Structures are given as structure tokens and as C-alpha cells.
Amino acid sequence: MELKRIETDKAPEAIGPYSQAVSAGGFLYCSGQVPLVPGTAELVGGGIEAQTRQCLDNLRHVLGAADIDFNSVVKTTIYLTDLGDFSVVNDIYAGYCGEVAPARATVQVAALPKGAMVEIDAIAWLG
């Protein structure tokens, strides 16, 4: 099986030894996206709403670098530092889902990189 690194400058650069995404076996495995503004590595301001949108926009750009979109996403995981934000994140997330909403897990974590409130990763089918 061939592994191929997928990267775009429209999403934040990796802040560690990992790829934005890797294609393998007909699937795209996207690393978690925290709400960093591409090109600045700065956390977006504006609270959980803005952070969720930034995570999803970053993820959209990573998917786009592989010539796919949210319609190809089969699984996501959402990491929240406060499950009290679940309904707000859920409402925003619903607006990004494809025709078939992906399988999903949402978990509360103690902390996220750079002090983010949310992180989202995805697995997508490359067709």
C-alpha cells in the first residue's frame, strides 16, 4: 500500500511531526485541526463558534487538497475542552456535513494544543 502525504498552505502547517493528511488504501486520514489561522499559527478569536468554524474550514481545505469535500467524509472525532459547548458545536458542524452525515464521536479532553477549545479530525473516502 502506498502512503501519500497531503498538504495545503490553506490550512495551518503541522505543529509537530505529523502530516495534515495521509492517503492510504483509498481513504484520507486527516489529522486533527485546531482553530489556527493559516499562515499565522495564531488561535482564532471569538469563542467556541469562531473556533469551530475555523477547525471545519481548515479541514475543508485539507480535504480540498485531496480533491474531495465533506461529502466524502465517513468518520469524524470532535474533541472539546467543555462538553457544555456540545450543542453550539453540533449546530455549526451540521452545516458542514455532506449529504450523508458521517459517523462521529465527541469527547471531552483536559486540554488541546495552543489552548484551543475544539479540535476535529476526519477520515474520508477517496472514491
pLDDT of residue 1: 87
Domains in the chain: how many in total? 1
Q: CA 74, CA 102: separation in Å to the nearest integer?
A: 5
Closest residue by Cα to residue 102 from 76, 66, 69, 64: 76
Residue-wise pLDDT tens digits, 68-119: 999 999 999 999 999 999 999 999 999 999 889 999 999 999 999 999 999 9
Residue 50's domain spans which residues? 4-125
**Does 77 or 15 have the greater pLDDT score?**
77
- CATH number where 16 lies: 3.30.1330.40
Q: CA 8, CA 26: separation in Å to the nearest integer?
A: 19
User: What pTM, to 2 d.p., does this model score?
Assistant: 0.96
Overall size of the chain counted in residues: 127
Q: CA 127, CA 114: separation in Å to the nearest integer?
A: 34
pLDDT of residue 99: 87
pLDDT of residue 15: 81
